[in-house]
Structure 1
Amino acid sequence: MVIFDLLGRKWAMGIIWHLNNGPSTFRALQAYCENISPTTLNKRIKELSNAHLIMKTLDGYALTEQGKELFNLISPLGKWAKTWAKKITI
């Protein structure tokens, strides 16, 4: 249940999703997350880092091996959600 609590927090999954494309700076993450406040972004980064899902690198923040494994597990859910969303909006 702990992982669901963490992933259910605002922008947590979005950060993981974005970092799957490669390392990203704080500013790039903030731009990706549109209207996220710097305080909230800092908090999510700290939480995801403490959970060993992301890490600070020379190029910015990146997924750890565990973070990549998690992304691979939730990626099919994202694909399913896109199909589901099309069906319920018709």
Structure 2
Amino acid sequence: MRARVVEDDRGRREARDACLEPCPIERGMRIIGGKWTGSILWHLKDGPVRFNDLARMIGGASKKMITERLRQLEGHGLVRREVIDSAPISVTYEITDLGRTALGFLDELRTWSEGLPQG
């Protein structure tokens, strides 16, 4: 259902008949729109990456933030976490088939943003 905006006699505007559930764009942005989320998926596109290597690739994000985003992505089934039993123990992250479906529009976003004026 599409929301319609109505105006009362005092000129106040109000949305009516709005959807109670988020629209598909909003739902997608809740999953992929978090800061660093797209970058994490993009850096996992070529294969499994160890956590510390991923943190170095992303640069401006704290390890705590990267951990939080990875847990969210794992919860949505976009990333898989694997603990490697070696000395020392390490953790790798890999994009899932579902996560790979986001790479197409992330690449389009990259192309689009490269065409924006700097500033």
Q: Aligned pair count?
A: 87
Among residues 30, 43, 55, which one is paired with 1:5 in the alignment?
A: 30
**What is the percentage of aligned positions where both structures have the same residue?**
23
More moved, 6-15 vs 47-56: 6-15
1:43 corresponds to: 68
- Partner secondary structure for residue 60 of structure 1: strand
The 5 A counterparts of 1:73-88 are 73-83=105-115, 85=116, 88=117
2:118 corresponds to: 89
Higher relative contact order (CA 8 A, sep 6+): 1
Query: Is residue 32–residue 38 contact of structure 2 (8 Å, CA) maintained in 1?
Result: yes
2:3 corresponds to: none
Unpaired segments ≥5 residues, structure 1: none
1:66 and 2:66 correspond: no
More moved, 13-22 vs 2-11: 2-11
Among residues 51, 64, 73, which one is paired with 1:26 in the alignment?
A: 51
The alignment yields a C-alpha RMSD, in angstroms, of 1.9
> What letter corresponds to residue 48 of structure 2 in structure 1?
P
Unpaired segments ≥5 residues, structure 2: 1-25, 85-90
What TM-score results when the alignment is normalised by the length of structure 1? 0.83
Hey, which of these two has a bigger chunk of strand by percent?
A: 2
Hey, which of these two has a bigger chunk of helix by percent?
A: 1
